[in-house]
Amino acid sequence: MLIPFLCLGGAVAGSYALFPSTWYKLRHRLRRERGLAVGTLYLTFDDGPSPEHTARLLDLLARYGVKASFFVVGDFAQAHPELIRRMVQEGHLVGFHSAHHRSAYLMTPRQTRRDFTGGLAALARLGVTPLYFRPPWGVVNWASLRLVRRYRLQPVFWDVMAQDWKANITAEEIVRRLRRRTRPGDILCLHDGRGAPGAPGRTIAALEILLPQWLAQGFRFATLECYG
């Protein structure tokens, strides 16, 4: 008798978050193949802002005139409003990455609604009305899909990751992975907050190597408003 209940539970869990997440990721891949901005890369950063790392990252981007898209966590944005204001003033895009960085697998519909409303309200108090949403770990559930439509948000996934949040990834390894995996038109997902201790610093060190090289190769950088 236990097996049917386990199967039913798996089906319910799959329909709640796995199926909608898989559909959105597939839709992203199909959209990407319809047309690329040749020679353009889209740098995106998740999980910030971080008082230890985000200002240094903004300094680096300003040095090379590179614009990026930041998917910020409402709690961290509220704690560090000066970093959000700086992102906006320097021409970067600020997107929504949840209020508390919890997986949609682990949230009930009511918790999901509170996460959206609380996180978006925190950004609104900072003068930011996001147009783009990246779900933590790339996971959405049926409730978050309804909220995306209600708030007219565009979900954004990615083409390239370098696992830069891990403790055992060096800056040199991040450089190697990004060189090998990146193609023109790609959305790169990196991190300026959370992760293992010091991880965002290694991401910044990798970009200090890669940004001048990519620019010398003729790549341009744009925010997601220019994607597609």
> How far is the C-alpha of 125 from the C-alpha of 149, rounded, in Å?
21
Helix (H) or strand (E) holding 33: helix 19-34
3-state secondary structure of 221: strand
Of 80, 97, 101, 191, which residue is the catalytic one?
A: 191
- What is the residue whose two structure tokens read 């918790």? 111
Of 46, 159, 164, 192, which residue is the catalytic one?
A: 46
Catalytic (active site) residue 186: no
From 223, 31, 224, 20, select the one nearest 135 (Cα to Cα). 20
Residue 219 · residue 39 · CB < 8 Å: yes
Tokens linked to 3: 């097996």
The radius of gyration of the chain from alpha carbons, rounded to an integer in Å, stands at 18
Question: Phi/psi zone of residue 101: left (φ > 0), alpha (ψ -120 to 50 degrees), beta?
Answer: left
CB contact set of 103 (below 8 Å; sequence gap of 6+): 136, 137, 139
Catalytic (active site) residue 101: no
Q: Catalytic residue numbers?
A: 46, 191
